[in-house]
Structure formats: structure tokens, C-alpha cells
Amino acid sequence: MSNDFEVAALAARFPSGFAWGAATSSYQVEGSTTADGRGQSIWDTFVSEPGRVVDGSNGDKAIDSYHNIEGDVALVGELGLNSYRFSLSWPRICPDGDGKVNRAGLDYYSALVDALLEQGITPWVTLYHWDLPQALENGGGWPKRDTAERFGEFAQIAHQALGDRVKRWITVNEPWCAAFLGYSSGEHAPGRREPAASIAAAHHLMLGHGLAARAIKEAEPDATVSIGLNFYPVYAASDAPVDVDAARRIDGVQNRWFTDAALKGAYPEDIVDDFTAVTDFSFVEVGDMEVINAPLDCLSVNYYSQYTVTGREGGAVSASAAPTGAGSPWPANEHVGFMTTGLPQTDMGWEIAPEGLSETLRRLHANYPDVTLAVTENGAAFPDKLVEDQVADSERLDYVREHLGACADAVEAGVPLIGYFAWSLADNFEWAWGYTKRFGLVYVDFETGQRVVKDSGKWYCDLVRTARSNGEAK
């Protein structure tokens, strides 16, 4: 446990005007999946299929945020945060994924935005955090170009309704997961196992990003537009060429594929070569890369862990050491093993590697110097216990403290970091892990919905209040 002196010293390392936040996503917290005209999403379908979610649960109720605007916003305020990142459920707003709008869906988000602004909290809105309208999946989903075009329209609809109050937009969250866990390993909705289609899906997610970015910037040049990508430093298990090549491939797919497309307007050549084994790229049309290369104001960095990989078949592989799906059966992952290095792990089996975050931020800034950065997700699952109104989650507290230290290191190294968002505001539905993994700063009793701020949340609040009062004094 750290003391007041440590908190003050850490707080002093952040610039004034920094965005201090926590993040959630629609399907993970809202519940009310059939209320007020919401259409079906691919996650509603996926969770209804036996064996998809470890505890057989679903997001029908989640943590009932749909009925709890006041409570959720009060929590964000209680934690002292000046920013809150949440996502829009596309099928709540456009039930069939086309231009037909469900007013009640927009009204919900409009009320949420108003409630945040009343408390002086800046909304950071993600347009796509994986809940694709099922109607679009029925038409082929992300492997089809049409889905990207519909997404561009959706961005326009969302901006028209909320853009007078929302100034920070994140187009797509983690297209790596949406494409490869959704369409290749099948661990996420829609649960397809089609490697070639997953590469087309990745392209159309990026095209959708570009179309959305363009729509928002055309309507409002001053809006801050971003894309949310998940980054991992990737280390080779040894100097052996086979391991070094495995690291190149995983780094290429995980880190360079999406950033090079968005910020350089080209996919990395070496990974294009790897992928030609399974796809001819006929889905890439003339002009697509320019759209994907739409001007970005900020790059949203989601960071959890690091990878150490081997290309040796039968090498000391521990699939559980890798975040979900890292060893997914798609071509570029062939013969790549993810290894444990002995570092402490979270309840997901993810290695705790805070210095990897400062390394990631420094590397991104070196490679893409023109864009500001924000850490829009960072956090850890641990098996928390509520004991007499207290959740003594010292491991999460240490995790958050160490990663914020890594952010401060990056700031001091000259990285233009503008914010930090803990994942997550509160325990919620963790995708294929259901309710078995708790990531919140706030504990949620999934039966009663009761919320209790964990020790990590109290510590974070202390830090944020100190940093914000420094900022005001400066």
C-alpha cells in the first residue's frame, strides 16, 4: 500500500488538463437488451449458443446501467474523475444497422451525456465496442464491405444527435479482437472460424473507422477523433531466428497492422506477405487506404500485458499466458507459442508488465510523432471478495499504481499523453468469461446490483483529486 507522500509524488508527474477517467462498454454494462426498440446484436446471439460463455451467462441484465444513469454518473463523480469513456450500442440506435433510427436509443445516450456534463465530466464516446447489429451479420458481417459503409452512416447519425455536446470520439475499439477473435478463432461473437474472412473483416473495420472519422471531421473539424487499439510489446523467447521471426509476426499483426494503416495509409509489407498464404486481398479497393488514413487527432491505447513468443514447434508453450485468443488458429499465428516468463499474473493469466506500457507509449510516439496518445483502457482482473463493505484489492491497486508510474515515465520522456482511463469503472460482463472475471474499480454484486468502491478505486480517487488540484493551482 502506498502512502500520501507517494500519491502526491505520482500526481505531480502529470500535466494539468489531463483526462482522468474510467471506461465501460455498452454490452458489458447496459443490460435491457430488448428494451425500447433495441435491435439484436451479435453478442445477444452468441451468448445464447451453448458453450460460448464459460459460466453460461449473458448481458441481458449486465449491471443494469441502462436504468441507472444517475447512479453510474454519481459513481464517476464520487471517484473524482473528469472523464468517462462509454460506448454506443449500434443496435440500440439503429436496430437493423441501416439508417432507420430508434429515437429511444438516442435518448438514452443523450440523457447520459447530459448527466455527465452536469457533473463537469467529459464524455469520451466509442462508436463500436463489438455489438454489431445482428441484421448486418446476417448480411455477411464485417467481412462484407457494406458493413463498413453502414458504420460510416451510423457515425453520422450519432454525431448529428450528440455532437453538440460530445467532442471526443473513438471510432472502433480493438479491431484486432473484433476481426480475429470474432471471425478467426471464434472466441468472440459472431464465433466464426474463417481465417480469410477475418482478414477481410479487419480491413472493413479499418475502412469503417476511416469513413466514421471522415463523417465526424466533415461535420465538425474541431472534434477529437481517435481509434482504440490494443498494444503489447512482443519479445522473442531467444535470439534464434525462428523465435525472432515469431516475434516479428505477432508484433506485426498485433501492433503494426492497424497503426500503419490508420497513420501511414499502408499495411506493413511483411504481414501482407504472411497473409497472402490465405487471402488475395481482392477486398481492398482503390482509395480504401486513403479513407483509412483519415486524419487522426489521438490514438487510443489499450494496454494490459506483454507477450513472449517462440516459433519453435513444441516449444514451452503456455496458451493460458496469453490474452484470450493470442494463440488463435489463424495463419500468421502458425507455430507461435506464447510463453510465461515468471512475472506475476492477473486472474486472466496475463503477465503484469508495467514497463511495457511506457515502452509502448514511447515507441508509438517515435513511430507516429504527429498524434497525441491516451491510455483508454488499462486494468486487471482479480478474484475480489466483499468483506463487510470493503474490497481489499491490493493487487489491483498496485497494478494501477505501477501502470500510472509507467505513464508518468512516458510523459517525462516527451510523449504527448493526454489521458488515462482505468478498465473498468465497475465489474461487468467480461465477454466469453461472463461474470467470472472482475476488472472494476467498483465492486458489483451481480445479484443485487449493489456497488462498493474497492480499495483500488479509493486510491485512484485520491490520486486523481491530488493531480486535479495541482492542475488548478498551476
At closest approach, how far in Å is the CB of 4 from ligand FCB? 30
Pairing mode of beta strands 307-310, 234-236: parallel
- H helices of 48-144, where? 69-78, 90-93, 103-118, 134-138
- The span from the CA of 450 to the CA of 78, in Å, is 15
How many Cβ atoms from other residues are within 10 Å of residue 144's Cβ?
Answer: 18
Quote the CA–CA distance of 372 and 296 in Å, as a whole number.
Answer: 9
Distances (CA, A) of 32 to 45, 134, 270: 15, 16, 45
Give the per-residue contact string, 283-322, with ligand FCB (x = CB under 6 A; - = no): -------------------x--------------------
Tell whether residue 174 is a contact of ligand FCB (CB under 6 A).
yes
Burial of 39 (0-12, 13-18, 19+ CB in 10 A): buried
Q: Which of 26, 134, 230, 378 binds ligand FCB (CB under 6 A)?
A: 230
The reply to whether 377 sits near ligand FCB by the rule CB under 6 A is yes
**x/- map, 1-40, ligand FCB, by CB under 6 A:** ------------------------x--x------------
| 89 lines the binding site for ligand FCB (CB under 6 A) | no
Stretch that binds ligand FCB, among 60-68, 170-178, 327-335, 392-400 (CB under 6 A): 170-178
Check residue 351 for interaction with ligand FCB (CB under 6 A): no
User: Which residue in the set 173, 184, 279, 306 belongs to the binding site for ligand FCB (CB under 6 A)?
Assistant: 173
User: Where does residue 159 rank: exposed (0-12), middle (13-18), buried (19+ CB within 10 A)?
Assistant: buried
**Nearest partner of 151 among 166, 181, 129, judged by Cα:** 129
Sheet holding 234-236, edge to edge: 234-236, 307-310, 337-338
* Contacts of ligand FCB in 399-458 (CB under 6 A): 423, 430-431, 439
251 near ligand FCB, rule: CB under 6 A:
no
- Catalytic annotation present for 174: yes
Query: Of 109 and 350, which CB lies nearer to ligand FCB in the complex structure?
Result: 350
Output the smallest distance, CB 423 to ligand FCB, in A: 5
Find where cell 451453448 sits. 50
In the three-class reduction of DSSP (H, G, I as helix; E, B as strand; rest coil), residue 162 is classed as: helix
- Range 176-205, binding ligand FCB (CB under 6 A): 177
Catalytic: which of 30, 187, 351, 377?
377
| Interacting residues with ligand FCB (CB under 6 A) | 25, 28, 173-174, 177, 230, 302, 377, 423, 430-431, 439
